[in-house]
Structure 1
């Protein structure tokens, strides 16, 4: 019985990590554009596929599982910020910060 409970507990702990959603794919941004996230040189590049800035790379994140860090560019102002992304199911929470104090967040939805 103890072996069964131990196995059940370990399976429960391994479940969320094994079930982490990948960051790769197409995402609908907060402004309604489509962004593609794909592997590039050991990281993940974020490139806009639609809108006025279509084709522009707007970010580069490193990580795995659900949490990623790197840089994010505001394509309208052409300013780059330290950034992060966190995947939860079909939602990607993007965050960009200036001096790690002034931050803005937005949610993107998987397409």
Structure 2
């Protein structure tokens, strides 16, 4: 009887504990691009993860960029081991690229490519929240 009670308590605790957030979830600071940088909030969107521009900055400080509130990271599907694949929007040229992300701790390596991966650009983002 005691084993059943302990097992029932263990199951209840496991079900009551909040699910651990995925490593990609949170707020990230981009690298500078065209003199500006941003904070991007990444959260679940359906079966994938999406990132929205929540704050933008230039040389003089915070400002309201035209793309504020837009999805910059789109439909990033987990591939395992901190890797994701989806699409990335670059506000400075208003283009959408095939995207790959690798998350390691508080750093995110983001890569956007065109022409089947022949031409790519990358940035390293830092988790701020």
Q: Same fold (TM over 0.5)?
A: yes
- Cα RMSD for the two superposed structures: 1.2
- Equivalent residue for 1:34? 39
The answer for unaligned runs of 5 or more in structure 1 is: 1-20
Query: How many residues were matched structurally?
Result: 91
Preserved contact between residue 22 and residue 65 of structure 1 (Cα < 8 Å): no
d(CA) in 1 for partners of 2:44 and 2:103? 16
Select the residue among 86, 97, 105 that pairs with 2:122: 105
Select the residue among 77, 95, 100 that pairs with 1:62: 77
Q: Which has the larger radius of gyration?
A: 2
d(CA) in 1 for partners of 2:91 and 2:51? 12
The answer for unaligned runs of 5 or more in structure 2 is: 1-21, 57-64
2:49 counterpart of 1:44: yes
Structure 1 runs, 4 residues or longer, greater than 6 Å off:
none
> Normalized against structure 1, the TM-score is what?
0.77
Select the residue among 68, 71, 77 that pairs with 2:87: 71
Secondary structure at the aligned position of 2:55 is classed as coil
What per-residue deviation string (whole Å, max 9, x for no partner) do you get for residues 29-73 of structure 1?
A: 002310000001111011100121210111221104400000001
What per-residue deviation string (whole Å, max 9, x for no partner) do you get for residues 5-31 of structure 1?
A: xxxxxxxxxxxxxxxx71000000002
